[in-house]
Structure 1
């Protein structure tokens, strides 16, 4: 096929292109653009002189090229990652080249399946605490988005900080939304004023950043002063990070420790919270699928015991429910890169220096790979149907050499937590449509309430 430099895409409005559409709903704009213009297209936004161009790649084959087979040519050099780096540090999510390779070598052993499975008890503790709180919920109604955000934050903070969990949770809970909104506004703005300018939004974000850094630094400094040992700090992730050495004996310094902690807090709670929120929301709208999931859970955990890591593979239908929720509502709805040199993707030439976007939210709805794509159907994820699909038709954890290091942890946490909640409660969705937005992760921009009925009352 001969490559073309004439790239299709929405015309938008005179002078500003698709700017207003993107501001109203970037996800709806990407979906419409793919439907109308194909699998490699260009979206322009902004006035002349400040115009941004985004090349959207929607086919699984193109996604694989960007994230995996030619990943060296598509780097995290765009504005959005730069803003995340400025606020949350140069941890594993944002680091590149030698920094990334060094960090990955140090951190990878802490995320093996065997190591992650040891966190199952901490997941169970927080899930049981959530059950107690939900049992006392006024009118039996809770906002799933708020509840899952707090649950996922407490879980990852417990795993990171062990006995210091309470010291960190409230600060992170208050600071992360402020910093996330700041990163989003700067990442999508054609004009970015210097951060040090004393504007109200800047001051608020920088204060949140200072508070967050201070809490993490305080815990790290206390651990260093006491001497971090396995006997005293057990197996919490901060202790493991502080003791980690590469093959040359190098370790993370205090700033690098804080940056890894912040990235783990960001990636480890917002993404899992999103997946759990929409799993509950969808089950609350689909009683037959909820009945099947509940039956699987009670057959395995009929004695009321806390689930373990060994139970995870014994919950295949609940895992399918989660995967289908992650298909429809991927926590990372789009993933940005910047092309180093001119490259042909799907017969279209993408120039060097171009901003390139792959979007799970779009590819997960691609009609060539998903029949009736808006329908909730966990049976899409039976082993046979998964094996028959393109590897990159479903990629909520990214892919290639930069695939999410914590994907087994996220799946384990989500499935075990859902098992505990479904054993205890029948879920009914109150809000049938949940408004969405895009920030660092997929955002719930309205209530996502569910009605809880304790199983003992049925």
Structure 2
């Protein structure tokens, strides 16, 4: 039986689910799936200022929204508009012909062969981080903080080459302000125009100006250097040409750089931090992963060729991304009235699919909150629906940097396990969902040198 309107959580009188969305939206989505089903209508805010959107939580529904009916669900919603206004119209936010042109231009820079060349930089930066960890008081480090620093250093080095250190300070200072600003504006029913001199607008504008200025400076210097700019990603991007011979303008290069910085460090940092955190919580899994590292590497630094020889670490990482997907929620907007499951989502409605929820769906995952890397043996992966697991999105807009993120995390985990044994200090890590999944508290662990 097809119903015309999906069920909604009860919420509070007049304001619906507004408080739950502000306090703990990730648990709200889990509870809604459990109590209302795989398609849920959320209503938040008082009459006249209401926000309404639909959650699609089944693997089949996620596949429809992201892949089979992708043209019917566009990036036209408020969230992507805010990201676009903050960091430009790069590959994450562009659409239609502009997106296709950008993808054709940039895809050659993210082939497996090209990305594998960054393995040395990944391992160098990980060794640099380990050297700093030796000075940690009582041998305790916060895996969230350290993974974020490592991922940011790595992507900045790969993007900017010799200019990485100058860009790093600006990015570390400006991105958190922009991230919080975008998330807050995407969730409230009333958004003051950006040119109004509110404290939040002024802070975000200052951060954006500083970030843009630093990127523009580096891009201008790189283009002035011509072929002397090196083979970092920015140099390749600045020189890239499409089939018609057209290259990107400086502002377009900046848009792509900012998206790569944002997506390339926050998502990988989340995956790496929680993979190490879960290993610190589960000594048996940690011992098995270390045995694999020792057997394959025999004390040497890993290379890109070792990636496929570390299947258990890859399974650990995939399980970490199941439990803590960096893109916890993915938004779209329905173009036309569309049937999803037993319900119709009306034209113009905002829609979310949520790896955070689908990765815990009991129809696909037995005992879903339990850490179990064995879920990702090849046989068990083949037995599940394709979109029971989609940490990198899916369909024509799937993340272009999937292999880079996986390679960086697997190699970094291997280097860490060569040097240290990990024991968790914090067992529970508080979370929130911004542009990406964010830890709002530490994930400390004690390091014992091997």
Shorter-chain TM-score category?
over 0.9
- TM-score w.r.t. length of structure 1: 0.97
| Partner residue, 1:361 | 356
| Partner residue, 2:257 | 261
Contact 2:59–2:388 under 8 Å retained in 1: yes
- Residues 1:350 and 2:345 are matched in the alignment: yes
The whole-number CA distance in structure 2 between the counterparts of 1:114 and 1:17 is 50
The whole-number CA distance in structure 2 between the counterparts of 1:266 and 1:376 is 28
SS in 1 for 2:210: helix
What are the equivalent positions in structure 2 for 1:219-298 lying under 5 Å apart?
219-227=218-226, 229=227, 232-298=228-294
SS in 2 for 1:341: coil
- Which of 404, 414, 432 aligns to 1:437? It is 432
Deviation at 1:146, TM superposition (A): 0.8
| Partner residue, 1:81 | 80
Contact 2:5–2:345 under 8 Å retained in 1: no
Gaps of 5+ in 2: none
What are the equivalent positions in structure 2 for 1:163-242 lying under 5 Å apart?
163-227=162-226, 229=227, 232-242=228-238
| Partner residue, 1:450 | 445
The whole-number CA distance in structure 1 between the counterparts of 2:278 and 2:2 is 42
The whole-number CA distance in structure 2 between the counterparts of 1:280 and 1:51 is 41
| Partner residue, 2:93 | 94
- Residues 1:327 and 2:348 are matched in the alignment: no
The whole-number CA distance in structure 1 between the counterparts of 2:448 and 2:347 is 56
The whole-number CA distance in structure 1 between the counterparts of 2:384 and 2:411 is 26
What are the equivalent positions in structure 2 for 1:130-145 lying under 5 Å apart?
130-145=129-144
SS in 2 for 1:56: strand
| Partner residue, 1:301 | 297
The whole-number CA distance in structure 2 between the counterparts of 1:8 and 1:267 is 34
SS in 1 for 2:3: coil
Q: Deviations over 1:84-114 (max 9, x none)?
A: 0001000000000111011001000000111
Contact 2:323–2:360 under 8 Å retained in 1: yes
The whole-number CA distance in structure 1 between the counterparts of 2:277 and 2:382 is 27
The whole-number CA distance in structure 1 between the counterparts of 2:172 and 2:108 is 28
The whole-number CA distance in structure 2 between the counterparts of 1:86 and 1:294 is 44
Deviation at 1:446, TM superposition (A): 0.9
Q: Deviations over 1:181-231 (max 9, x none)?
A: 01011011111001111111111111111110111000001112222x1xx
| Partner residue, 2:127 | 128
Q: Deviations over 1:328-359 (max 9, x none)?
A: 00001000000000000002100000010100
| Partner residue, 1:427 | 422
| Partner residue, 2:105 | 106
Deviation at 1:419, TM superposition (A): 0.3
SS in 2 for 1:405: coil
SS in 2 for 1:197: coil
The whole-number CA distance in structure 2 between the counterparts of 1:177 and 1:331 is 16
The whole-number CA distance in structure 1 between the counterparts of 2:230 and 2:386 is 38
The whole-number CA distance in structure 2 between the counterparts of 1:383 and 1:255 is 43
The whole-number CA distance in structure 1 between the counterparts of 2:161 and 2:241 is 21
Pairwise CA RMSD of aligned residues?
0.8
Contact 2:61–2:341 under 8 Å retained in 1: yes
Deviation at 1:131, TM superposition (A): 1.1
SS in 1 for 2:7: coil
Gaps of 5+ in 1: none
Runs of 4+ residues over 4 Å off in structure 1: none
Structure 1 stretch 171-180 or stretch 232-241: which is displaced more?
232-241
Deviation at 1:448, TM superposition (A): 1.2
Count of residues in correspondence between the two structures: 450
Deviation at 1:306, TM superposition (A): 1.8
| Partner residue, 2:32 | 33
SS in 2 for 1:352: coil
Contact 2:223–2:229 under 8 Å retained in 1: no
SS in 1 for 2:435: coil
Contact 2:279–2:422 under 8 Å retained in 1: yes
- TM-score w.r.t. length of structure 2: 0.99
- Which of 377, 390, 393 aligns to 1:398? It is 393
The whole-number CA distance in structure 2 between the counterparts of 1:235 and 1:292 is 37
